[in-house]
Structure 1
Amino acid sequence: MLVLAERDLTGLISPLETIAAVEAALRAQASGALAAPQRLHLDWDDNSLLTMPAAAAGGVGVKVVSVVPGNKDRHLPVTSGVMILNDRNTGAPLALLNAAALTAQRTGAVGALGAKYLSPAQTASVGIIGCGVQGAWQAIYTCAVRPIEEVFAYARSQAAFDRFAATVGRHAPGVRITACGSVRALLDRTDLVIAATTSTEPVLPDEPALLQNKHFISVGSFRPAMQELPDSIYRLAGSLAVDSEHARHEAGDVINALRRNILSDGNVFSIAECVTGERDIDVARTTVYKTVGSAIYDLFVAFELYAAARRRGLGREVTL
């Protein structure tokens, strides 16, 4: 079995290759060529343990991840865990991957679908609210699908912004990175906004005049009690793209919009419809996309990483 640590996985494949793997997963899902049951949440205090199995033609696997928001104050990763890949025919374990590195890149790719399909092709800037690890990867992957010249960021501290700027700068050289003193200042300077926080309340003001004809991506909220984006965004958009049907039951952004009759079930659609060409989006008006992740993305991206590691002789072989 091949063990792949964070140092092996970071930068192993390009953002465009990762995005292509995510799109391949969505096409396979649309054709019914894979299986991915709803992930299991085990919650304690403010923390969660998630297990996410999936099977496709190329193999099977399961990701086991802990999410501990309080780790920020301990100077530890908020998200940690492992991804296990198994041979489809024999069931034998093929690889053990660092889940934090996999998740960061995979989630960056899934979020980038919102920029690719729900924003104008000429979009030259993006605003990031929440400058943790995931905020940085959202910026990096957005730069891969849009001609981004400037990244605007709203962080809780100067230290968080500095870490964010350093990470984005390494992976997207030449892009200007600018700190904003408030979310209002960020909204004034860009039309593409990505929220990557663990907030239980909207991180943007619920004011239609500030939100009209902009494009919003929420990647942070993953529990029913969490809502990153204000209700006005859903009213303005009139529809909502999601990366997974699980979002209807897991994310407060989707649950609340449906419960409050801001949106109907028919107004919530899968981003797969954009990937397969079944749906065209009017990007001249307000758009919104909610991602909660799915085991299918982990599986497809993990196998791409595994194949690339084998080609390059990376990782460490172990016998169980």
Structure 2
Amino acid sequence: MQIVSEKAVKAAVSRADAFTAVESVFAAMATGQAWNFPVVREAIGHADALYGFKSGFDRDHMALGVKSGGYWPGNAARGLTNHQSTVLLFDPDTGQPRALVGGNYLTAVRTAAASAVSIQHLARPDAKTLGIVGAGHQAPFQLRAAVEQRPIERVVAWNRSPERLESLREAAQAMGLPFEAVDRDTLCEQADVIITITSCFEPLLTREQIRPGTHIACMGTDTAGKQEIDPAILASAEVFTDDPTQAATIGECQHAVAQGHIHRDAIRPVGGVIGEPGSFRRSAEAITVFDGTGVGLQDLAVARVALERAVEAGTAVRIDL
């Protein structure tokens, strides 16, 4: 079995690698060549932590495995990232473990890749202003991946604690983009693409705030009860997701489905648009929403790339288990 450390993973997987891997696995999911297993995600009753497992099998790339991890809100005070994850890959022919792969960087880069895939396939081609709601560890990853998909000219952002926006400012400036901290009304007035990346349990954006033509990538809701936007937004939008079942049960769509704003059948897999580009023709006035629930297949896709690259570079460590 191979061990791929966080350091080796960072050196092995670029944003472009993650984008290609995630886009490919979304397309495989839409054709039935890859599927996720039911998610386990629970509060453990200690340290206010959420812990769980995401797993699946990608027949196209022969990736089988599980990501284990969750969210520890007190980790920042310890100098650690709040999200902690590890990926275990298995040989689909024998069931033997192939690799143990550090999952913290991979979680951030694959989550950013998922929203970037949605922007590439669903946002207006002329989108120029990016809005970000949230300023946690994953927010700069989201910014860097998003601006590579459209001719973004400026970034606006909001967070409950404005002082935490400094990392986003630095990321924007490093890419040569003007950055401004704004309130939520101003963000929605100006942004062509909005990414929400929070751990909230209440809507932060209302239907009245969203302009026609906006694309929203909701990337923070992955647990029952979490919520980032008003369900009325979903009722008036073209809704896409990574996994429709997860979206309706633990994703942003859970509230809209439960309240009768939308039917489960209205939630479309983004992989279908990737595989059949003509299946979605965006109008200039349409509001599009991507419900990024986070699927195990994303983790397996990027972990597979990390393993292959690390073995080639000699940075993976082989052990006998």
TM-score normalised by the chain length of structure 2: 0.89
Indicate yes or no: 2:169 matched with 1:165.
yes
- Identity among equivalent pairs (%): 24
Give the aligned partner of residue 52 of structure 2: 50
Contact 2:2 2:316 in 1 (8 A): yes
Matched residues in 2 for 1:11 and 1:121: separation? 32
Q: Specify whether residues 90 and 113 from structure 1 end up closer, same or farther in structure 2 by C-alpha distance, changes over 3 A only.
A: same
Matched residues in 2 for 1:72 and 1:105: separation? 19
Matched residues in 1 for 2:153 and 2:320: separation? 47
Between stretches 309-318 and 107-116, larger displacement belongs to: 309-318
Give the aligned partner of residue 236 of structure 1: 236
Give the aligned partner of residue 142 of structure 2: 138
Contact 1:151 1:175 in 2 (8 A): no
Matched residues in 1 for 2:87 and 2:40: separation? 15
| Equivalent pairs, count | 314
Taking the TM superposition and a 5 Å limit, the aligned residue runs for 1:193-208 are 193-204=194-205, 206-208=206-208
Give the aligned partner of residue 258 of structure 2: 259
**CA positional deviation for 1:159:** 4.4
Give the aligned partner of residue 305 of structure 1: 306
One-letter amino acid of the counterpart of residue 297, structure 1: Q
Give the aligned partner of residue 36 of structure 2: 36
1:145 is paired with a residue of what secondary structure?
Answer: coil
- Structure 1 runs (4+) deviating above 6 angstroms are none
Indicate yes or no: 2:104 matched with 1:105.
no
**CA positional deviation for 1:119:** 0.7
Give the aligned partner of residue 287 of structure 2: 286
Q: Specify whether residues 315 and 160 from structure 1 end up closer, same or farther in structure 2 by C-alpha distance, changes over 3 A only.
A: farther
Taking the TM superposition and a 5 Å limit, the aligned residue runs for 1:17-36 are 17-36=17-36
Contact 1:212 1:236 in 2 (8 A): no
Matched residues in 1 for 2:186 and 2:167: separation? 21
Give the aligned partner of residue 13 of structure 1: 13
Give the aligned partner of residue 315 of structure 2: 314
Contact 1:211 1:233 in 2 (8 A): no
Matched residues in 1 for 2:283 and 2:14: separation? 27
> For 1:121, which of 122, 125, 135 is the aligned residue?
125
**CA positional deviation for 1:248:** 1.1
Q: Specify whether residues 62 and 212 from structure 1 end up closer, same or farther in structure 2 by C-alpha distance, changes over 3 A only.
A: same
Matched residues in 2 for 1:77 and 1:137: separation? 14
Q: Specify whether residues 77 and 15 from structure 1 end up closer, same or farther in structure 2 by C-alpha distance, changes over 3 A only.
A: same
One-letter amino acid of the counterpart of residue 208, structure 1: E
TM-score normalised by the chain length of structure 1: 0.90
Unpaired runs of at least 5, structure 1: none
Taking the TM superposition and a 5 Å limit, the aligned residue runs for 1:175-214 are 175-204=176-205, 206-208=206-208, 210-214=210-214
**CA positional deviation for 1:291:** 0.7
Contact 2:124 2:282 in 1 (8 A): no
**CA positional deviation for 1:296:** 1.2
**CA positional deviation for 1:283:** 4.3
**CA positional deviation for 1:294:** 0.8
Matched residues in 2 for 1:178 and 1:241: separation? 28
**CA positional deviation for 1:318:** 3.3
Contact 2:44 2:50 in 1 (8 A): yes
Contact 2:234 2:253 in 1 (8 A): no
Contact 1:67 1:80 in 2 (8 A): yes
One-letter amino acid of the counterpart of residue 136, structure 2: G
1:84 is paired with a residue of what secondary structure?
Answer: strand
